[in-house]
Amino acid sequence: MKNQINKIVSVLVLMFLFSSCHRPPKGYKEGDYDRAFMNYLTMRKIEFTELNNSLYSKYYIDFMRYERKELLLKNPFLKFNQVYVHQTNNVIRYFVFTDIGYVYAAETDRDGSAFVNVPVEGKIKVKKPFPLLLYGFYELDDRTVKISRNEVQRYGELNQCDVGIMQNDTITLTAYYNTKKFGYKKKWLAKTYKTNFKLVYQPNMTATPIKHNFWGKTFRIEGEFKNERVIEE
């Protein structure tokens, strides 16, 4: 019974996230999504005569994932399911942008830890592959990326949106602001704060999809990357 309740809650949360964060493509009119849904069912060879609640219940979330993935993959500027690294004076942060709109992340100490070596000959190497955690959700508009993130803190929840520009192999996060939960819209009277955080694609790092016993679906990363000189941000 408990597992069934958890499953129902998970589905409701997922539907909320898709409806809040995964917007229809520009130019879509009323009825376009139903027609696209029917095309999706036909592509999957699912027999039907007309749309009904049972079809929506069984297949609509999968359809939305498919639509989201197809839309994102049209963008040539982001490296999907690959590792980006942001280096600071004290920590190194690792990011993976999935092809269905999720962002996973983790961080390690810059001067070595249980997972990464200290820099040697200008390189930092992962000595023990480690998992990433769900960081947030993102949307793309040409070269612009927006990341919606939610953090549970001691005194409540913090909901913010990072705004970045994609150029070659680098995502430069240039600003952030407070938002409503699971969204990109700025809160009423919220300020926009400037940033200069560079997330650099690392071709010698790999992100392998795994299922973690505690965190569920995530990624495990390994490999090595160049130790970059850090400029105060």
pLDDT digits (tens, 9 = 90+) for 131-189: 999 999 999 999 999 999 988 777 778 899 999 999 999 999 999 999 988 789 999 99
CB atoms closer than 10 angstroms to residue 156: 8
The model scores a pTM over 0.85: no
Alpha helices by DSSP H, listed for the chain, are: 2-21, 32-43, 53-72
- Please provide the distance, in angstroms rounded to a whole number, between the alpha carbons at the two ends of the chain: 51
Could you list the mean pLDDT of each consecutive 10-residue stretch along the chain, which spans 233 residues? 42 47 53 84 89 88 88 94 95 95 93 86 91 94 95 83 96 96 89 96 96 78 88 55
Residue from 177, 183, 139, 178 nearest 156 by CA: 178
